[in-house]
Amino acid sequence: MRHARVRMILALVGVACLSLAPQARAAFGELAFAQPVKTQPVKAPPAKAGATVQLLTLDEAPRERPGKLDWLTGSSKRPTLREIVETIDDVAEGDAAGLLIRIKDAELSLTQVEEIGAAIKRVRDAGKRVHVFAENFGLREVMLGAYAEGVLGQSGGSVAVSGIYTEEMYLADTLAWAGLKADMVQVGDFKGANEQMTRSAPSPEWSTNIEQLLDTLYASARTPILEGRHLTSEKLDDAMDQTWLAEMSDAQRLGLIDRQVDLPDLAMALGEMYGQDVTFSELEAGSSGEIDPATANPLAILSLLKKTPDVTPTGPAIAVVHVDGAIVDGDSTQGGFTSEASVGSRTIRNALEDIAANDNFKGVLLRINSPGGSAVASEIMWQGLKRVAAKKPVWVSVGGMAASGGYYIASAGEKVYVSPSSIVGSIGVVGGKFSMKGLYDKLQVRITSRSRGPRAAMFASDRAWTADELASVKAKMSQTFELFKSRVAEGRPNADLAKTAGGWLFAGQKAIDMGLADEVGGESEALDALAERAGITEDYEVFDFPQPQSLTEVIEDAMQGFGQSKASLALSGVPAEIASGLRALLGESTWRQVSPSIAGLLQMRHEPVLLMSPTTIIVK
């Protein structure tokens, strides 16, 4: 069933990205080399009857949700993952003979490749042909190409396909050298969330946990390549061994691609594969509406300040509630400059109440990309989801991760969808504080403490917890752990907590086997299945929550940011210069994965008990 697309939410786009003028688009200029001065056009085939092939270019990492002002401009420069998948699905129902996907420096995650790959498979199942072209190939490009009928690589391009590599940094000795001590404890032998700060090397339990997770992720990455490229495991091992730094000719010889082609000859090469001339028709993922040109008048632009987003469905609709980032108490934050977005319990509860009160919303899809965070906020969100579930179905779609607090709220869903590389679990609790006495001594800082009340000095910065205080923290953490397990037991009765609680992380099909999830599928599959479950028999609208801000609110937030100091604009208290440097050093793809975990762990400054995933798994 095709459904109407209505995309309205909050996202991480600064107000400077707003463009009131129509965006000029070049038809085949997008099919050229990304050169700083000029591009190379594709040679068009002879102008005669032939096959029309739709061209979709992936040149950026897809967003999880629309931009702040997409509702106002009616367009989106950077599409969401759902928009890309829907655009590919439309090809299956259209008149074009096939689809060409050009991967142009897109930083796709494993789960994004899997969701886009599933859409490619649906196009092929509809009898259409799908090919993939890229100038350079890494693991993700080879994976995506494996879903297609054929893969073409730029002649002379590079290939760097290797396995999965992770690094874990242990800072106990570093902190001791600096005069700091992490006074942290955890509940769950396999949780591992405190080990980075309290150990010099991993515990045997954490090593067991992470090793089995990496086995699953590696198998998930290899499976589509083995099946789509018709390779044996031995041949794939050999190909990966030889193409860790190789040329496109090596990739073709080893079966990772089908053909080398120079970009200007791409239409000719596809024509040979189709057996007829090929004409490209460029696709644009997402909406492409424009603001009325009349608003170019400065006075008319002022009228936009009074305009508010309309998020009221006129017919059957599904609400997609995004939990994207670290979970915190209170209101969500938008991010911007060097800060990162967070998910606030108050914001989510308000959105859930609005959804529950509107009878046109027939169901809720909770889309989670979170390593967890505040235990209190997770419980508040869980309660809100259960209130909605009493009136209409609540399902869950996991993107990259629903771990710890993220999985806590996922357990409120009736059904949980995961991609093969989605990580779920981490049922455990971590808590603690940092004692800075050694650092104070090195800097010759003298602290005089004064307190009133039996627990007033619990979070004194110049000393570790006493035995009595530590026992009190552990008791609270154990209480939270039991509540966590009871929530999972209620929502996932088939999960054996003896085998899944304690901090274990599971991915994809293994999460399903352990009873922590139900189906392999992406957001698009979950939406259509939920619509069927909700009894929707016609086209339906999709609304994203939290609701979008008005232009006035976006500008006010931006101006507040300009008025703050650099330190206050930083990632949860990390100085802006350090956060900005880390972002540049790690790269955008890695930063997007790491920053929510950093933000969550730094909540220990004001909240002693957290439901956090121990680390972010970055596949390279």
Within a domain: 130: yes
**Distance (Å, rounded) from C-alpha 557 to C-alpha 563?**
10
> Beta strand pairing status for 278-282 and 51-58?
parallel
Q: At what angle do helices 110-125 and 523-533 cross, to 10 degrees?
A: 60
Question: Do the beta carbons of residue 84 and residue 60 sit within 8 Å?
Answer: no
Contact 279/96 with Cβ under 8 angstroms?
A: no
Please indicate, yes or no, whether residues 260 and 325 belong to a single structural domain of this protein. Answer: no
600 band by pLDDT with thresholds 50, 70 and 90? low
Q: Which of 480, 494, 461, 488 is nearest to 407 (CA)?
A: 488
Residue 229 banded pLDDT, cuts 50, 70, 90: very high
Answer whether residue 183 is part of any domain: no
**Pair of tokens at residue 266:** 């791409």
**pLDDT tens digits for range 7-26:** 333 232 232 232 333 333 33
Q: Are residues 459 and 322 in the same domain?
A: yes
pLDDT exceeds 50 at position 160: yes
**Residue reference for tokens 């930063």:** 591
Provide the pLDDT for residue 106. 87
- The set of residues, in sequence order, having a beta carbon less than 8 Å from that of 149 and lying 6+ positions away, is 124, 129, 130, 131
Q: Which residue range(s) make up the domain with 119?
A: 21-161+243-282
Q: Mean pLDDT over all residues of the chain?
A: 80
Three-state secondary-structure class, residue 454: coil
To which H or E segment does residue 529 belong?
helix 523-533
Co-location of 408 and 342 in the same domain: yes
pTM for the whole thing? 0.79
Q: How far is CA 417 from the centre of its chain?
A: 15
From CA 21, how far away is CA 288, in angstroms rounded?
Answer: 13
Residues 516 and 456 in one domain: yes
- Closest by Cα among 497, 481, 501 to 609: 481
HEC sequence for 391-441: CCCEEEEEEEEEECHHHHHHCCCCEEEECCCCEEECECEEEEEEECHHHHH
Decide: 85 and 114 in contact? Cβ < 8 Å. Answer: no
252 shares a domain with 104: yes
Residue 308 lies in a domain: no
Lowest mean pLDDT segment, chosen from 97-106, 302-311, 337-346: 302-311
Does residue 84 fall inside a structural domain? yes
Average pLDDT score over residue span 127-137: 95
Question: Does 478 share its domain with 577?
Answer: yes
Q: How confident is the model at residue 40 (pLDDT cuts 50, 70, 90)?
A: very low
Q: What CATH number does residue 42 fall under?
A: 3.90.226.10
- The count of structural domains within the chain is 2
One domain, residues 325 and 271: no
Q: Is 329 helix (H, G, I), strand (E, B) or coil?
A: coil
Claim to verify: residue 278 and residue 327 sit in the same structural domain = no
Whether residue 440 lies inside any domain: the answer is yes
Q: Does some domain include residue 79?
A: yes
Q: In Å, how far from its chain's centre is CA 255?
A: 31
The span from the CA of 355 to the CA of 357, in Å, is: 5
Calculated CA dihedral for residues 34, 582, 408, 422, nearest 10 degrees: 30
Q: Which two tokens stand for residue 179?
A: 């005069």
- Distance of alpha carbon 134 from its chain centroid, rounded? 23
**Choice between 252 and 442, residue whose per-residue pLDDT is larger:** 252
Question: What is the rounded CA–CA span in Å between residue 582 and residue 274?
Answer: 47
Answer yes or no: is 7 within a domain: no
pLDDT in tens, 453-483: 788 888 888 888 888 888 888 888 899 999 9
Please return the burial class of 530, using the count of CB atoms within 10 Å of its CB with bins 0-12, 13-18 and 19+.
Answer: buried
Whether 277 and 327 share a structural domain: no
**pLDDT for the residue numbered 522:** 95
72 within some domain: yes
| 362 and 270 share one domain | no
Model pLDDT for residues 547-592, shown as the tens digit of each residue: 765 555 555 555 444 444 333 334 444 445 555 555 555 555 555 5
251 and 345 together in one domain: no
In this prediction, residue 339 has a pLDDT band, given cuts at 50, 70 and 90, of very low
Residue whose pair of structure tokens reads 């971590």 in the numeric block: 430
Model pLDDT, residue 433? 82
CA–CA gap between residue 363 and residue 397 (Å, rounded): 13
In a shared domain, residues 333 and 452: yes
